[in-house]
């Protein structure tokens, strides 16, 4: 990928996605489960650019959504409604109503109160809501605590005793149809063992439901398959699929997977431009035009994104010294890399952050009234804009209209 040309044409900070790689990653996942009835529901939260979703829709992807906004994005991008699932601990009445009206595949329910709410709204709409219960298997996924979700101390899902009660209730309800079971123990997983343990626990639980004449159709194993940011081991997809199939022995269920990071993570790059260098008594700082509002993962999870250097200076190893790459935001936590070896840099040089396709742009913000970056896709060697950089006017339009209204009234 010609980052210099892309930076020149679209300016920086810039997100670039290799759409061909995204397609390959999706197909790898799909192929790993080929031997079995399966549906890959791409987790939109990782990267919800409509063109990225559309690329996956063309490969028959489904969608895992965590807000009605994501559900609507999935539909707009061409994902079939009957392949969309809606998860999350805090769905509002409006969201549940719209999801039922849109007739998506099912809602992943995460609490007793939510189940009652879905039932109540389905009754009002004269519908029978297809639901799945998210069961919390109480298994340590061994990942960063902020993205670990499968322990009872986490807010997600219900324990198996509560789940049993909820399935019974749903079975006897005129307005609920229990069609699936769901778990998701965490993200950026590099160890298969906790996933196997969770799949086995939930499969056993599913068997126990058969005694109640509850016959589910979908076994939703969530997402979580990690990628290599620095030196993490990668889960072998074939072994992952085999382990899940083995856990399901004897159960005739369609497997649903909700991968996000695995599909888009490695395909994304964030191009930044060096503004200044600054040396204090203790440290060397490289100040770039890109900040924690563009990529918050280093600040939030101490995540590591490897950096490629495109410099007019020599990039000889011998000349490299340790530096922090920092952005213009008014916080000491605003950094993109810490203590990494960099050659001497000058204004205008490019630093490209790898593995930025997942939870990069989708977690970006306008903090410090910074415009969010542009997004570009490259497919068959041809680049095209997927989202323009925001303008200052985009950011203040609504507030300015309100303010001008108030000022008029005062006059
Ligand atoms: N399904 C559910 C219910 C989830 O909560 C998630 C991610 C996924 C699927 C997709 O997981 P993946 O395959 O991408 O690991 N912002 C964090 C990651 C948060 C993940 C939240 N849930 C990060 O930047 O590492």
Examine residue 297 and state whether it is found in any structural domain, yes or no.
Answer: yes
Examine residue 210 and state whether it is found in any structural domain, yes or no.
Answer: yes
Measured in degrees and rounded to the nearest 5, phi and psi for residue 53 equal: -65, -40
CA distance 31 to 33: 5
pLDDT over 90, % of the chain = 90
* Number of domains the chain contains: 2
pLDDT single digits (tens) 182-221 = 999 999 999 999 999 999 999 999 999 999 999 999 999 9
pLDDT of residue 36: 86
Q: Do 128 and 37 share a structural domain?
A: yes
CA distance 277 to 274: 8
Q: Average pLDDT of 232-239?
A: 95
Domain stops at, among 232, 247, 263 = 263
Least confidently predicted of 3-17, 146-160, 393-407:
146-160
The answer for 187, left when phi > 0, alpha when psi is -120 to 50, beta otherwise, is beta
C-alpha 351 – ligand 1 centre gap (Å): 27
Q: Do 290 and 243 share a structural domain?
A: no
Cβ 260 under 6 angstroms from ligand 1 = yes
C-alpha 187 – ligand 1 centre gap (Å): 5
Q: Average pLDDT of 314-334?
A: 92
Asked if 132 and 87 touch (Cβ cutoff 8 Å), the reply is no
pLDDT of residue 293: 98
Examine residue 295 and state whether it is found in any structural domain, yes or no.
Answer: yes
Q: Do 159 and 31 share a structural domain?
A: yes
Q: Do 229 and 165 share a structural domain?
A: yes
Cβ 258 under 6 angstroms from ligand 1 = yes
> What would the two tokens of residue 362 be?
């989708």
Q: What sign does the CA torsion over 206, 210, 216, 217 have?
A: positive
Residue 20 binned pLDDT confidence (cut-offs 50, 70, 90): very high
Asked if 263 and 29 touch (Cβ cutoff 8 Å), the reply is yes
Distances (CA, A) of 73 to 26, 47, 126: 19, 11, 26
C-alpha 88 – ligand 1 centre gap (Å): 11
C-alpha 173 – ligand 1 centre gap (Å): 32
pLDDT of residue 124: 98
- The 3-state DSSP class for residue 199 equals helix
Q: Which residue's C-alpha comes closest to atom 19 of ligand 1?
A: 147
CA distance 27 to 49: 19
What is the rounded end-to-end Cα distance, in angstroms, of the chain? Answer: 56
pLDDT of residue 6: 98
Q: Average pLDDT of 262-268?
A: 98
Q: Do 375 and 271 share a structural domain?
A: yes
Examine residue 339 and state whether it is found in any structural domain, yes or no.
Answer: yes
Spatial CA neighbour of 223 closest among 209, 237, 203, 204: 237
Q: Between residues 403 and 313, which one has the greater pLDDT?
A: 403
Verify whether residue 257 is a known catalytic residue: no
CA distance 372 to 15: 10
Q: Do 363 and 283 share a structural domain?
A: yes
Distances (CA, A) of 118 to 81, 105, 176, 177, 326: 18, 14, 8, 11, 46
Residue 144 binned pLDDT confidence (cut-offs 50, 70, 90): confident
Examine residue 404 and state whether it is found in any structural domain, yes or no.
Answer: no
CA distance 235 to 200: 18
**Mutational test site, ligand 1, from 22, 25, 28, 45, max ligand atoms within 8 Å of CB:** 45
Distances (CA, A) of 290 to 188, 321, 353: 24, 21, 10
Q: Do 186 and 42 share a structural domain?
A: yes
Q: What is the atom index within ligand 1 of the atom nearest the CA of 187?
A: 15
pLDDT single digits (tens) 282-310 = 999 999 999 999 999 999 999 999 999 99
Cβ 192 under 6 angstroms from ligand 1 = no
DSSP string, 3-62: HHHHHHHH-SSEEEEEHHHHHHHHHHHHHHTTTS-EEEEEEGGG---HHHHHHHHTTT-E
Distances (CA, A) of 255 to 2, 179, 354: 39, 12, 31
Q: Do 206 and 108 share a structural domain?
A: yes
Cβ 186 under 6 angstroms from ligand 1 = no
Examine residue 42 and state whether it is found in any structural domain, yes or no.
Answer: yes
Domain stops at, among 263, 291, 312 = 263
Q: Do 65 and 113 share a structural domain?
A: yes
Cβ 43 under 6 angstroms from ligand 1 = yes
Cβ 345 under 6 angstroms from ligand 1 = no
Examine residue 400 and state whether it is found in any structural domain, yes or no.
Answer: no
Q: Do 227 and 184 share a structural domain?
A: yes
Q: Do 251 and 305 share a structural domain?
A: no
C-alpha 174 – ligand 1 centre gap (Å): 33
DSSP string, 352-389: EESS-SSSSGGG---GGGPPPPEEEEEETTEEEEEEPP
Whether the bond between 13 and the residue before it is cis, its omega within 30 degrees of 0, is yes
User: CATH number for the domain including 108?
Assistant: 3.20.20.10
Q: Do 248 and 115 share a structural domain?
A: yes
Examine residue 373 and state whether it is found in any structural domain, yes or no.
Answer: yes
> What would the two tokens of residue 208 be?
């126990």
Domain around 354: 3-13+266-392
**E strand segments, 280-371:** 284-288, 307-310, 321-326, 335-342, 350-353
User: CATH number for the domain including 311?
Assistant: 2.40.37.10
């Amino acid at each position: 990928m010609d980052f210099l040309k892309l930076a020149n044409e679209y300016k920086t900070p810039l997100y670039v996605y290799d759409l061909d790689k995204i397609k390959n990653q999706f197909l790898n996942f799909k192929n790993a489960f080929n031997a079995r009835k399966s549906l890959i529901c791409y987790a939109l939260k990782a990267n919800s650019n409509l063109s990225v979703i559309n690329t996956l829709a063309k490969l028959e992807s489904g969608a895992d959504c965590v807000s009605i906004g994501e559900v609507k994005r999935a539909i707009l991008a061409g994902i079939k409604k009957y392949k969309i699932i809606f998860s999350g601990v805090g769905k509002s009445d409006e969201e549940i109503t719209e999801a039922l009206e849109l007739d998506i595949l099912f809602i992943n329910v995460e609490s007793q109160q939510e189940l009652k709410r879905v039932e109540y709204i389905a009754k009002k709409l004269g519908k029978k809501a297809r639901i799945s219960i998210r069961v919390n298997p109480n298994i340590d996924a061994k990942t960063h605590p902020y993205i670990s979700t499968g322990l009872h101390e986490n807010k997600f899902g219900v324990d198996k005793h509560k789940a049993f009660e909820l399935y019974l209730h749903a079975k006897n309800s005129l307005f609920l149809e229990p069609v699936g079971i769901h778990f998701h123990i965490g993200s950026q997983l590099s160890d298969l063992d906790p996933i196997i343990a969770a799949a086995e626990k939930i499969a056993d639980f599913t068997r126990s439901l058969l005694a109640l004449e509850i016959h589910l159709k979908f076994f939703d194993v969530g997402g979580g398959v990690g990628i290599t940011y620095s030196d993490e081991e990668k889960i072998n997809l074939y072994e992952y699929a085999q382990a899940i199939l083995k856990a399901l022995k004897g159960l005739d269920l369609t497997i649903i997977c909700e991968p996000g990071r695995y599909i888009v993570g490695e395909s994304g790059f964030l191009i930044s431009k060096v503004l200044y260098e600054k040396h204090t008594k203790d440290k060397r700082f490289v100040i770039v035009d890109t900040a924690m509002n563009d990529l918050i993962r280093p600040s939030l999870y101490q995540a590591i994104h490897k950096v490629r250097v495109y410099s007019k200076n020599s990039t000889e190893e011998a000349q490299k010294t340790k530096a922090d790459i920092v952005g213009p935001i008014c916080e000491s936590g605003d950094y993109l890399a810490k203590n990494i070896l960099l050659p001497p840099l000058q204004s205008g040089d490019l630093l490209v952050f790898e593995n930025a396709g997942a939870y990069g742009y989708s977690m970006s913000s306008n903090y410090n009234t910074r415009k969010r970056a542009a997004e570009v896709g490259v497919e068959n060697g041809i680049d095209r804009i997927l989202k323009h950089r925001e303008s200052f006017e985009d950011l203040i339009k609504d507030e300015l209209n309100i303010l001008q209204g108030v000022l008029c009234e005062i006059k």
